A and B are shown apart, each in its own frame.
Chain A
Amino acid sequence: MAMLRNDLVLLAVFALVVLAMPLWLGPIGAAYPDLMQKIAIYGIFAIGFNILFGMTGYLSFGHAAFLGVGSYAAVWSFKLLTMSVIPAVIFAVVIAGIFAAAIGFISLRRSGIYFSILTLAFAQMSYNLAYSVLTPITNGETGLQLALDDPRVLDRALSTGGPGIPAPSLFGEQLVGLSGFYFCAVLLILCFFLAMRIDRSPFGMMLKAIKSNQTRMAYTGFNTKPYTLAAFIISGMYAGLAGGLLAATDPLAGAERMQWTASGEVVLMTILGGVGTLVGPVVGAGVIKYFENIFSAFHEAKLHEAFSFMPDGLENFFVAITAPFVGEGWHLTLGIVFMLIVIFLPGGLMEGVRRLRTAFTRKPAAREETGKFAPAE
C-alpha cells in the first residue's frame, strides 16, 4: 500500500530538485532560462502523457495536437483579453480538454495499434487543417502572433498599455528570464503532485487494472470507457497546459507544434525516463531537451578544445570520429542512447536508478523473490 510519508518525501525532493535547477544545471552548461523553461514545460507534457500511456496502457500518437491547441488558445487569450498568463493558461487547459474529449470519444472505440493510428490520424488532420482551412484562427504558416492593434479588451479597459507589444505577465510582473522559468517550475510541481494523487487513488488503481486486463474489468462490473476517456481528457489537459506555457514564455503559436514528430517526442521522453513511473517522464523530458539544445550546439572547434590534451594526430582522429555525433548529428547520439536504454533498461532510466539502489542497499528486489517461490505446475 502506498505510504503517505514516503510520498511527501518524494514530492519535497522533486520540488527541491526542480526549483534548484539553475544551480545544478550550471556546471553542465544548461542553466539558461530558455532551456530550463522547456524542460519544465515538456516535463508537464510527459507527466500527463504518462497518465494515459503509463497508467492506462493506451499509446497515443497524437498528443501534440493538444499541445498545439493549448498554444493557440493561450495566444488568442493574449490577443483578445489580456496579457495576463492566468486566463491564458486556463483557456489552454479547458479548450485542450474539450478537444481531448471529442478525439478521445472516437479514438477509444478501439484499443492497441488501432487506437494509436486513430490518434495519429486526428493529430495529422489538425496539423493540416491549421495550415489550410483554419488559417483565420491559426494564421497558417506564419503562426499566430501578437500585434499592436490586438483588442486586449481587459488590458485596454484597465488602461495598462504602454508603447509597443507588451509581454505576457503574471500580476503585472513580466514573465521573462528566470521569472518565466519559476512560473513553469511551480506548475510542474503542482502537476507532479496531481499525477501522484491520481496514481495513489482508487481511480488510478482502476486505470492500472484496465492496463493489466481490460476484459476482466468489464466482468468485474466496471464500465471501462469512461475511465479511459477520463484518463485521455486529463492527459490532454496536461498537454494543453504545456502548450499554453510554451505560448506564455514565447507568445507565438505555430502549427509545427502539432506535427507527428512532436507527438513521437513525448513517447520517447516517457519511455526513456520510465513508463508508468512518476518521475521518469520528467527525467526523460529533461534528457531529450538537454540533448536537443546542448549537443546540437557543439561544433568542431569545441571538440578540438576538448581533445587538445592529446597529440595532434590522435586529436584529429578523435575529433573526426566524434564529430558526427554532435552538432547537427545530435539525433544520432539520442537514437543510440534510446536504443541502449530500450535494450538494456526496458523500464527506462528509472529502472537504472532502482537497480543501482538495490545494488547498494543489497536488498534483493521483491520481484525476483516472488519469482523463485512460484511453484511449477
Chain B
Amino acid sequence: MSNAVLHVADVHKSFGGLRALSDIDLQVMEGTTHAIIGPNGAGKSTLLNVCIGRIAPDTGAVVFDGQVITGKRPHEINQMGVVRVFQTPEIFPDLTLLQNVMVPAFAKRDGSFRLNALQLTSRQSAIREEAEHWLEDVGLYKQRETLAASLSRGDKRRLELAMGLVQHPRLLLLDEPTAGMSRHDTNATIDLLKKFKERGMTKVIIEHDMHVVFSLADRVTVLAQGRIIADGKPDEVRGNPVVQEAYLGGAH
C-alpha cells in the first residue's frame, strides 16, 4: 500500500466560463478503495471522465502506473487496465447478457483489434465460462440468454459491473454503482466490491450514498465547486467542519 497507482497531477478544466475542476491533485494508493464525494455539480464525474480520456484537461496530467495517460485514446487506457463503470448504464442493449460480458472478456484476451472472423464463438468455452462466472456473481446468471435492453436500471448497473470485473482491471472507476438499486441489491453490491478489496483491486468510487462510502472506502476525498476541500480517512472527513458545511450539512 505504498505506491500510487493513479496520480491526478494539478488538473484544471473549464467549460466556457465555468471552472469544473481546479487545482486537483490526487493520489490513489495501490489496493485501496478511494471514495470521491461532494454535492451535485462538484466535478466528480468530470474528474472520472478526465481519468478515462473522455475529457481532456486544460492543464495538468493523469499518471497511471508511472505512465501519463492524458491524451491517450479511450481504448488504449482501457487496455492498460483502467476500467470504468458509468453512471447511466452503458451496455449493449441488442446483445444478450452473456454476450455483453463476453465482449469485454474478448477485449482483455485479444487486445483492441483481432480479425478472428473464421473462429466460432460457440467454441470459445474459456471466455464463455468466465463471463458466466461473473454473471453468477452479480446475480444475473439465470437471465443470461435474454437481451440486455429488457433489464431494469438496477440490473443494467449490475450487468455493467460484471462487464467491468471480467476484465480484471488494475484500477476500477465506479460512478455511483448503487444508484437506482434497492437496499438489498446495494448491500449485495457492497459485499461483492469488498471481495475485490481483499484481492487487492484498486478502486475509485463516486457515491452519494454515505452508507456505501463508509462501508467501502479507505480514503475519502471531498470535492466542492471543482476543488478538493478535504482528503483523509473516512472518520476524519466525517468530522471535518468544512465538509459538514459544504456537503453533509447542505442538501443531506
Which residues of A are at the interface with B, using a C-beta cutoff of 8 A? 1-4, 197-198, 200-206, 208-209, 211-213, 215-224, 226-227, 230, 234, 366-367, 370-371, 373-377
Known: A212-B95, A222-B113, A377-B180. A205 touches B78 (CB 8 A): no
Cα of A213 to Cα of B86 in the assembled complex, Å? 13
| 8 A Cβ contacts from B221-246 to A | none
Known: A218-B74, A220-B78, A377-B180. A201 touches B116 (CB 8 A): yes
Q: Chain B residues near A208: list those with CB within 8 A.
A: 92, 94-95, 99
Interface of chain A: mostly helix, strand, loop or mixed: helix
B122 touches A3 (CB 8 A): yes
Of all A-B residue pairs in the complex, the 6 with the closest CB atoms, nearest first, are A221-B107, A221-B78, A212-B92, A203-B117, A212-B94, A223-B112
Number of A-B residue pairs, CB cutoff 8 Å, is 131
Known: A2-B120, A209-B95. A377 touches B152 (CB 8 A): yes
Smallest CB gap from A51: residue in B:
B117
Which residues of B are at the interface with A, using a C-beta cutoff of 8 A? 52, 54, 73-75, 78-79, 84, 86, 90-95, 98-99, 102-104, 106-108, 110-122, 124, 128, 143, 145-147, 150-154, 163, 167, 180
A201 touches B118 (CB 8 A): yes
Q: Chain A residues near B104: list those with CB within 8 A.
A: 220-221
- Contacts beyond the supplied A2-B122, A221-B111, A371-B150: 5 A-B pairs with Cβ under 8 Å: A4-B122, A209-B95, A217-B103, A218-B73, A222-B75
B119 touches A202 (CB 8 A): yes
Cα of A202 to Cα of B105 in the assembled complex, Å? 11
Contact of A209 among B86, B92, B113, B180 (CB under 8 A): B92
Cα of A1 to Cα of B145 in the assembled complex, Å? 8
Q: Chain B residues near A218: list those with CB within 8 A.
A: 73-75, 78
In the complex, 10 of the A-B residue pairs with CB atoms within 8 angstroms, ordered by the A residue number, are: A205-B95, A206-B106, A209-B95, A209-B103, A220-B107, A221-B79, A221-B111, A221-B167, A222-B107, A234-B117
Smallest CB gap from B107: residue in A:
A221
CB B91 to nearest CB in A, in angstroms, measures 7
Q: Chain B residues near A371: list those with CB within 8 A.
A: 150
